[in-house]
Amino acid sequence: MKYAEKAITAGILSLGLAAGAHAQSAMEAQEESDWTVSANLSVVSDYRFRGLMQTNGKPALQGGFDIGHSSGFYVGNWNSSISWLSDSDPDISSNVEMDFYAGYSHAFANDVTLDVGVLHYYYPGRYPGGFNDPDTTEAYLGLGYGPVTFKYSHALTDLFGAENSRHSQYFEAGLAVPTGVWGLDLNAHVGYQKIRNMDDGSYTDWSIGLSRQFDRFTVSLTYVDSNADRDLYTNGHGKYTGRAAAVLGLSAAF
């Protein structure tokens, strides 16, 4: 075989190998694209959960990760520093909240979304004898239409240590829209916590705030308030945990 023929043959072979390698890489990329992994980290001036203080009005460090599949199924974990348990009883050593969840989400036509899953709130630590376990499991169903969301959560266990509170319910609605001013987004929320066998414990919470995204960072300022019973929701430090507050947050997505 002449040198030119060898060169042409080698070129054809290398092109074939390159095409095969490219096809294989494309297939691998396609397979890898079925899964997404994301993480988040944030600090807030006051951790509020359903309108109530979780850190006695002090800052909290938070973060977690999510793993999602193109089919819509996902799992995740989110964590935050807390003090509400030790604020209620100094013999409790728990100072962290760990949330584990799994679910399914789907986007339909006409901006309709569905989100259904199970979430477990875990509070590791030492507890005094006779203290009801604060760990809580809830099933949730969320529906969205454009910028509006509705979510229902149903407690499958006692709710955060409240005695005989299984099957408690939380109803919430949210709104997130761009203002068109300085890149700010408007976020509003209203929720109703119904605690079974504890009528005085049921309450409504609401919030409204502004946020702005800078690349992977988001800054937010939110007004939070509730009508929770002052006598029932005052902690061991004499602070009313449902009082109004302005919460400043900084978060990063990875």
Q: What is the pLDDT of residues 214-253, one digit of tens each?
A: 999 999 999 999 999 999 999 999 999 999 999 999 999 9
Q: Is the pLDDT of residue 31 over 80?
A: no
Q: Is the pLDDT of residue 12 over 60?
A: no
Q: Both 161 and 124 in a single domain? A: yes
Q: Which of 48, 39, 86 is nearest to 67 (CA)?
A: 39
Range of the domain at 24: 1-33
Q: Both 61 and 24 in a single domain? A: no
Q: Is the pLDDT of residue 11 over 90?
A: no
Q: Both 111 and 135 in a single domain? A: yes
Portion of the chain with pLDDT greater than 90, in percent: 84
pTM of the model: 0.86
Q: How far, in Å, CA of 89 to CA of 71, rounded?
A: 44
User: In sequence order, what are the residues at sequence separation of 6 or more whose Cβ sits closer than 8 angstroms to the Cβ of residue 22?
Assistant: none
The CATH code of the domain that includes 80 is 2.40.160.40
CA 108-109-115 angle, to 5 degrees, is: 20
Q: Both 235 and 129 in a single domain? A: yes
Q: Number of structural domains, the chain? A: 2
CB 43 within 8 A of CB 250: yes
Q: Both 13 and 89 in a single domain? A: no
Q: What are the tokens at 22?
A: 């490219």
pLDDT category of residue 32 using cuts at 50, 70 and 90: low
CB 103 within 8 A of CB 117: yes
Q: State the DSSP code for 16.
A: H
Q: What are the tokens at 1?
A: 């075989």
Q: Both 139 and 209 in a single domain? A: yes
Q: Both 82 and 133 in a single domain? A: yes
Q: Both 87 and 199 in a single domain? A: yes
Q: Is the pLDDT of residue 200 over 50?
A: yes
Look at residue 33 in the predicted model and tell me its pLDDT: 78
pLDDT in tens, 60-83: 999 999 999 999 999 999 999 999
Q: Both 67 and 174 in a single domain? A: yes
Q: Both 58 and 68 in a single domain? A: yes
